[in-house]
Amino acid sequence: MSAAPTQKPTQGCALLYDSTPEPDTSRLISILEGTGSHRCRASVTGRHGPGKAVVYGQVQLDAHIVNLVSVDSPADDRVSRLTILQAMLSDEERQVLFGHRAYIHCLYAGGSQEPLEQLRALYRVVQALTEVCAPAQALGLLDIPALQAFSLPHLLELLRWLDADPPPLGLWIRIIGLSGAQEGAGNSAHVWLVTRGLAHFFQPEIAVNGQYVPDAESAESMLMSIASWLIHRATRLNLGDTLEMLAEESLESRVSRWRCSSPSPEQRWLASPYGTVVLEPAQ
């Protein structure tokens, strides 16, 4: 089986290890086929050694293809380090992830057009890879599109619900705060609450200005509710749409309707791969 990508990957994440991972493909297949509900093939092109810092592999899980890129060095690029730095981790967890020595980049390369199916297949492979690379030990995971990083215990806890309905959206989506520039003379800048990870579902991210919400917790609840609705309804927001929140979900009784707008040209910091929808109070 060729390890070359069959098409441009649509999903990706990176498992971090304390030393060089050498996947045991026989055990990998056994784990993925363990429930009796999946058929799997797996291959790896050799092993790491002198002059071989990168090893390629491929897993075919039912109709899904996941490419593996095992790298015998830390993921120390700026974006990976920023992801660990900005993730919701304890100081101890952050230091553990910063101390990784190698990683496996897992890339979804074909089999389904449905984002949730893609992610479930990809993360089934991720879950198996946490068990089959001894003596290397998995330390955690990076999800750069969502600016997410997980310690191994937290990752495994979320993976328990991978096939649940609803799925564990916290694996792929989070809310971050961004400080916007001042928007006019005499107006103080407000923190914006913005989703990260809706790009996994080929959707625009969603943003709301903090001046319109009572606190970050309420904004996070609203944005995650909208994200869940978009994913489960397989729909999307369009500019000019109006959202009406249910009474128990509204942030304030006086603000329960929101208009979907686009960022201003000056708000380049709201850019994302599929654009960003800004929620403004509707009159």
Q: Would you state the torsion angle of the CA atoms of residues 44, 45, 49, 51, taken in this order, to the nearest 10 degrees?
A: -140
User: Which pLDDT score, from 0 to 100, does residue 269 have?
Assistant: 87
As a 3-state breakdown, the chain gives helix, strand, coil percent values, each rounded to 5, of 30, 30, 40
pLDDT at 36: 83
Cα–Cα distance between 264 and 107 in angstroms, integer? Answer: 34
- Residue 251 is predicted with a pLDDT of 47
Quickly count: other Cβ atoms within 10 Å of residue 267's Cβ: 17
* pLDDT value at residue 189: 61
246 contacts: CB under 8 Å, gap ≥ 6? none
Do residues 107 and 9 lie in contact, with contact meaning Cβ atoms separated by under 8 Å? Answer: yes
Query: How many residues are present in the chain?
Result: 283
- Which pLDDT does position 126 carry in this prediction? 98
Identify whether the C-beta of residue 56 lies closer than 8 Å to the C-beta of residue 69.
yes
Sheet with 138-143, side-by-side order of all strands:
40-44, 54-61, 64-71, 102-110, 11-17, 138-143, 148-151
The whole-angstrom separation of Cα 52 and Cα 40 is 27
pLDDT (tens, 9 = 90+) of the chain, 283 residues, equals 344 445 789 999 999 999 999 999 999 999 999 978 899 999 999 999 888 999 999 999 999 999 999 999 999 999 999 999 999 999 999 999 999 999 999 999 999 999 999 999 999 999 999 999 999 999 999 999 999 999 999 999 999 999 998 899 999 999 999 886 544 433 446 799 999 999 999 999 999 999 888 788 888 999 999 999 999 887 889 999 999 876 444 444 454 689 999 999 989 889 999 999 999 998 7
Tokens for 12? Answer: 């990706």
pTM of the complete model: 0.90
Non-local (6+) Cβ contacts of 80 within 8 A are: 14, 142, 144
Residue 118: closest CA among 161, 166, 170, 62: 62
What pLDDT is attached to residue 6? 53
Q: Which residues does residue 219 pair with via DSSP β-bridges, in sequence order?
A: none
* Per-residue exposure over 27-40, b if at least 16 CB sit within 10 Å of its own CB, e if not: ebbebbeeeeeeeb
Across the strands, what pairs with 140? 16, 151
Bridge partner list, 108? 11, 66
- Distance between alpha carbon 233 and the CA centroid of its chain, in Å? 20
Closest listed residue to residue 219, CA positions, set 181, 185, 191: 191
What residue type is assigned to position 12 of the chain?
A: G
Q: Within the chain, what is the greatest distance between any pair of CA atoms?
A: 66
> What does the domain layout of the chain look like in residue ranges?
11-166, 174-281
